[in-house]
Amino acid sequence: GAVVSQHPSRVICKSGTSVKIECRSLDFQATTMFWYRQFPKQSLMLMATSNEGSKATYEQGVEKDKFLINHASLTLSTLTVTSAHPEDSSFYICSARDPLTGMRNEQYFGPGTRLTVT
């Protein structure tokens, strides 16, 4: 199947700083990528849908000014957590949809990025 990578896999930052997480589709072009957040022992929660060349669509309750999403190319989307606080510590996962898979339409997930804010 298609491969999606994330960088970094783990990051520790101090409260008040910003952190950028990259999501790349390695062997396909993704017009749409999705960003999820997962707290310990909980399920994945969709944060936003990232569309190449246009503004991201955020889910209700997700602050777009705090979680900046940029999808500047067909293989790269970035999530920047601005002014991070300890409550932002979480597992951030991206996924990408390969439009060429036709009716399959499944999403391919990255390995996740564990963010710890101290």
Partner 1 sequence: DAKTTQPPSMDCAEGRAANLPCNHSTISGNEYVYWYRQIHSQGPQYIIHGLKNNETNEMASLIITEDRKSSTLILPHATLRDTAVYYCIVRGNFGNEKLTFGTGTRLTIIP
Q: Residues in the site for partner 1, rule: CB under 8 A?
A: 1, 4, 6, 32, 34, 36, 43-46, 49, 51, 91, 93, 95, 97, 103-112, 114
Q: Which residue has the tokens 């997700």?
A: 62
C-beta of 111: minimal distance to partner 1 in Å?
Answer: 5
CB closer to partner 1 out of 56 and 81: 56
CB closer to partner 1 out of 14 and 104: 104
E strands present in 1-118: 4-7, 10-13, 19-25, 32-38, 45-51, 57-58, 67-73, 76-81, 90-97, 107-109, 113-117
CA 45 to chain centre: 11
CB closer to partner 1 out of 1 and 16: 1
C-beta of 72: minimal distance to partner 1 in Å?
Answer: 18
Cis status of the peptide bond prior to 40, with omega within 30 of 0? no
CB closer to partner 1 out of 52 and 70: 52
C-beta of 109: minimal distance to partner 1 in Å?
Answer: 3
